[in-house]
């Protein structure tokens, strides 16, 4: 079928578009930035080069017509109300999300959800096939679209296909619980290159192929299609737009707003901050428990110390999320009731999304940033915090179970399951002399500045181009021309590094088993 609209050399497919369609009661349509780290990262990548983004507009029903947004061609894919329930809330977020995050809550398996996941993945693949130019690079994102690589390969054998997993990939013992495990692996193996946040995730994937499919594997490669093709699975940890965010954080109005925020919570000696999607993986309950105990044991207390917890609404129709919200709000109420003072609440709890400027101001206002997930693929909030601290102020408390910790190991590391240990870490972050904290912050900032999202995208695309199964003229049409064309190609040394050792991008784990 000939393409009906424009085609692009780079096509991103992600469950969500970077903007969500919101229809007000009076029928007025508004586009709002979509939640989550995937959108934050991919939007900054796509703003710097021409390309198309295939995704859902966040609303059930017919898809809006394709449109341009800040230079990105957005191609909406429709989801019916049943598909929102079965594919998105069901299979993606009530089956895969728990399995991929260490089963912090039990996963639910329903065959109708799986059927819906297949149908929606097919629709995404068809949309990708429509907007991809001859020999394009197709870059599929995340756990919602694991069947898309193989489906696109069938429809468009001429394109080069990559997939990046923004979340962890589980150990085979957990992955094996999925009744559709073989189909998911086969879907992914349709790609030329598979990117993961940590080496442990890539290794888990390769092991799953060996143990569950009987595939032949060697280091980071899986052999498929009767030895005709190899797929590479390697770690390339994602990052933030360091330069763009730092510039924003240096704006006088943003810095003034940071001072205003501090003043509005009573100019405390220590302002602690938590910023998360309201998700059970983020360890918000553990953080509140540690904080509550520190207060009730009088190690800390308002008005000298306060906690601002910003919790973005997320997946609110899924039971585990609804229950979590109720529990968090009850806990905050109890802490304030028992340990707050008139005019000096112990916790300021906000259940909203904020503009980027406000987030940058919040980060600058915070003396201690609490990032305590039980499991997180990366956690961009940790990297955003250090990016915004151009003043070298602040301290980052960071869970060992985040991808970010594998790069930011100078941070105040914590195991959020160990409440006593978490309390001690928070106290250390408060009490460490300012000079030492500045030294730490400098090191953290250097790491993020040197490994920003632009470098991540360049490394990813170079690894995709250099993946083992280079297209041959018989099977793939004309050779892909993009290696010379993309403005995002890395410097030669970096290209060689990515081509040779894409799997060694992350700092090796220290002291954490995965
Ligand atoms: P996840 O992708 O699981 O939500 P990350 O920490 O990787 O977690 O990314 C979260 C992204 O969402 C960050 O860019 C962060 O700044 C943004 N964010 C989180 N909470 C809010 C909020 N209340 N308002 C606006 N942006 C938010
Ligand atoms: C995480 C996932 C993304 C997802 C985001 C927000 O970052 O990796 O794929 O888009 O959370 O979740 P939501 O379900 O609202 O898209």
DSSP code string of 346-364: SEEEE-S---HHHHHHHHH
Work out which ligand 2 atom sits closest to the CA atom of 92: 14
Task: Specify the pLDDT at position 484.
Answer: 28
Q: Is residue 492 within 8 Å of 498, Cβ to Cβ? A: no
Task: Specify the pLDDT at position 226.
Answer: 79
Q: Which tens digits make up the pLDDT trace of 228-287?
A: 899 999 999 999 999 999 999 999 999 999 999 999 999 999 999 999 999 999 999 999
CA distance 336 to 504: 46
Peptide bond into 358 cis (omega under 30): no
Distance 282 CA to ligand 2 centre (A): 13
Q: Which residues pair with 307 in a beta bridge?
A: 272, 347
CA distance 54 to 137: 13
Task: Specify the pLDDT at position 192.
Answer: 97
Residue 482 has pLDDT above 80, yes or no: no
Pocket test for ligand 2, best of 36, 163, 313 (most atoms within 8 A of CB): 36
Identify the CA nearest to 389 among candidates 255, 275, 490, 492.
255
Identify the CA nearest to 156 among candidates 132, 140, 139.
132
Q: Which tens digits make up the pLDDT trace of 18-66?
A: 999 998 888 888 999 999 999 999 999 999 899 999 999 999 999 999 9
Closest Cα to atom 3, ligand 2: which residue?
38
Closest Cα to atom 4, ligand 2: which residue?
36
Distance 144 CA to ligand 2 centre (A): 9
Checking DSSP bridges between strand 51-56 and strand 72-77, what pairing results, if any? Answer: parallel
- The average confidence (pLDDT) of the chain is 91
Q: Which tens digits make up the pLDDT trace of 282-310?
A: 999 999 999 999 999 999 989 999 999 99
Task: Specify the pLDDT at position 514.
Answer: 25
Q: Which residues pair with 30 in a beta bridge?
A: 22
In this prediction, residues 412-436 reach a mean pLDDT of 98
Q: Which tens digits make up the pLDDT trace of 146-198?
A: 999 999 999 999 999 999 999 999 999 999 999 999 999 999 999 999 999 99
Q: What's the pTM value of the predicted model, to 2 decimals?
A: 0.91
Distance 41 CA to ligand 1 centre (A): 10
Identify the CA nearest to 36 among candidates 275, 324, 341, 360.
275
Angle among Cα 315, 237, 205 to the nearest 5 degrees reads: 80
Angle among Cα 95, 100, 103 to the nearest 5 degrees reads: 75
CA distance 106 to 112: 18
Q: Is residue 84 within 8 Å of 61, Cβ to Cβ? A: no
pLDDT band at 84 (very low <50, low <70, confident <90, very high): very high
Q: Percent of the chain, pLDDT > 70?
A: 90
Give the H or E element holding residue 298. Answer: none
Instruction: Give the full edge-to-edge strand order of the sheet including 368-371.
Output: 347-350, 305-312, 270-277, 368-371, 395-399, 412-414
CA distance 458 to 347: 41
Checking DSSP bridges between strand 305-312 and strand 270-277, what pairing results, if any? Answer: parallel
**DSSP per position, 179-204:** TTHHHHHHHHTTSSEEEESSHHHHHH
Task: Specify the pLDDT at position 421.
Answer: 98
Task: Specify the pLDDT at position 25.
Answer: 86
Work out which ligand 1 atom sits closest to the CA atom of 277: 4
Task: Specify the pLDDT at position 294.
Answer: 98
pLDDT band at 469 (very low <50, low <70, confident <90, very high): low
Does the C-beta of 36 come closer than 6 Å to ligand 2?
A: yes
Q: Is residue 51 within 8 Å of 10, Cβ to Cβ? A: yes
**Which ligand minimizes its atom distance to the CA of 379?**
1
Chain CA centroid to CA 162, Å: 17
| More confident call, 491 vs 30 | 30
Helix, strand, coil fractions of the chain, as percent rounded to 5: 45, 20, 35
Distance 404 CA to ligand 1 centre (A): 14
Q: Is residue 84 within 8 Å of 58, Cβ to Cβ? A: no
Residue 443 has pLDDT above 50, yes or no: yes
Distance 213 CA to ligand 1 centre (A): 36
**Residue 112 CB neighbours (<10 A):** 13
Q: Which tens digits make up the pLDDT trace of 319-331?
A: 999 999 999 999 9
Identify the CA nearest to 381 among candidates 276, 254, 498.
276
Checking DSSP bridges between strand 19-23 and strand 67-69, what pairing results, if any? Answer: unpaired
Residue 483 has pLDDT above 60, yes or no: no
Task: Specify the pLDDT at position 281.
Answer: 98
Q: Which tens digits make up the pLDDT trace of 100-135?
A: 999 999 999 999 999 999 999 999 999 999 999 999
Identify the CA nearest to 142 among candidates 167, 117, 122, 114.
167
Q: Is residue 397 within 8 Å of 372, Cβ to Cβ? A: yes
Does the C-beta of 156 come closer than 6 Å to ligand 2?
A: no
| More confident call, 476 vs 197 | 197
Task: Specify the pLDDT at position 493.
Answer: 36
Identify the CA nearest to 274 among candidates 331, 318, 197.
331
**Residue 335 CB neighbours (<10 A):** 21
Does the C-beta of 373 come closer than 6 Å to ligand 2?
A: no
Task: Specify the pLDDT at position 415.
Answer: 98
Residue 477 has pLDDT above 60, yes or no: no
Residue 495 has pLDDT above 60, yes or no: no
Q: Is residue 338 within 8 Å of 296, Cβ to Cβ? A: yes
Task: Specify the pLDDT at position 1.
Answer: 54
**Residue 384 CB neighbours (<10 A):** 26
Distance 305 CA to ligand 2 centre (A): 32
Closest Cα to atom 27, ligand 1: which residue?
353
Instruction: Give the full edge-to-edge strand order of the sheet including 51-56.
Output: 67-69, 72-77, 51-56, 8-16, 132-141, 160-164, 193-196, 229-235, 221-224, 216-218
Task: Specify the pLDDT at position 225.
Answer: 77
Per DSSP, which regions of 58-114 are E strands? Answer: 67-69, 72-77
Does the C-beta of 13 come closer than 6 Å to ligand 2?
A: no
Does the C-beta of 277 come closer than 6 Å to ligand 1?
A: yes
Does the C-beta of 314 come closer than 6 Å to ligand 1?
A: no
Checking DSSP bridges between strand 412-414 and strand 160-164, what pairing results, if any? Answer: unpaired
Q: Which tens digits make up the pLDDT trace of 207-224?
A: 999 999 999 999 999 999
């Amino acid at each position: 079928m000939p393409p009906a609209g424009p085609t692009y050399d780079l096509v991103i497919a992600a469950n969500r578009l970077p903007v969500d369609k919101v229809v007000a009661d009076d029928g007025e349509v508004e586009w709002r930035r979509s939640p989550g780290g995937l959108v934050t990262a991919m939007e900054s990548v796509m703003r710097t080069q021409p390309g198309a983004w295939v995704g859902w507009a966040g609303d059930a029903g017919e898809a809006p017509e394709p449109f341009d947004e800040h230079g990105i061609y957005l191609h909406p894919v429709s989801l019916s109300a049943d598909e929102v329930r079965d594919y998105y809330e069901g299979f993606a977020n009530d089956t895969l999300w728990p399995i991929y995050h260490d089963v912090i809550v039990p996963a639910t398996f329903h065959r109708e959800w799986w059927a819906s996941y297949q149908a929606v993945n097919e629709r995404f693949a068809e949309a990708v096939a429509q907007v991809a130019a001859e020999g394009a690079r197709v870059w599929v994102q995340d756990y919602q679209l694991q069947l898309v690589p193989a489906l696109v390969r069938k429809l468009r054998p001429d394109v080069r296909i990559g997939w990046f997993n923004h979340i962890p990939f589980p150990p085979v013992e957990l992955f094996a619980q999925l009744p559709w495990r073989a189909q998911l692996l086969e879907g992914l193996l349709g790609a030329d290159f598979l990117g993961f946040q940590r080496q442990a995730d890539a290794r888990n994937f390769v092991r799953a192929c060996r143990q569950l499919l009987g595939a032949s594997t060697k280091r980071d490669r899986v052999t498929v299609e009767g030895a005709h093709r190899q797929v590479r699975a390697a770690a390339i940890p994602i990052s933030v737009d360091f330069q763009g965010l730092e510039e924003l954080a240096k704006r006088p109005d943003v810095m003034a707003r940071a001072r205003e925020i501090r003043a509005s919570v009573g100019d405390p000696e220590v302002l602690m901050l938590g910023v998360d999607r309201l998700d059970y993986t983020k360890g918000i309950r553990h953080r509140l428990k540690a904080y509550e105990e520190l207060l009730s044991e009088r190690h800390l207390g308002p008005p000298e110390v306060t906690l601002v917890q910003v919790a973005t609404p997320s997946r609110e129709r899924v039971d585990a999320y609804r229950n979590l919200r109720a529990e968090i709000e009850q806990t905050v109420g109890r802490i304030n009731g028992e340990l707050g003072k008139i005019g000096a609440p112990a916790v300021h709890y906000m259940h909203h999304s904020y503009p980027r400027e406000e987030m940058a101001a919040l980060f600058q206002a915070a003396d201690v940033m609490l990032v305590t997930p039980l499991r997180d693929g990366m956690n961009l909030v940790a990297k955003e915090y250090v990016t915004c601290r151009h003043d070298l102020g602040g301290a980052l408390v960071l869970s060992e179970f985040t991808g970010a910790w594998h790069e930011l190991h100078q941070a105040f590391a914590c195991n959020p399951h160990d409440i006593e240990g978490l309390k001690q870490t928070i106290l250390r972050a408060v009490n460490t002399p300012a000079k030492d904290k500045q030294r730490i912050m400098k090191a953290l900032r250097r790491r993020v500045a040197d490994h920003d999202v632009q470098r991540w995208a360049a490394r990813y695309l170079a690894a995709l181009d250099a993946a083992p199964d280079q297209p041959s003229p018989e099977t793939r049409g004309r050779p892909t021309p993009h290696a010379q064309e993309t403005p995002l190609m890395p410097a030669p040394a970096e290209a060689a590094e990515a081509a040779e050792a894409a799997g060694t991008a992350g700092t090796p784990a220290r002291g954490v088993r995965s």
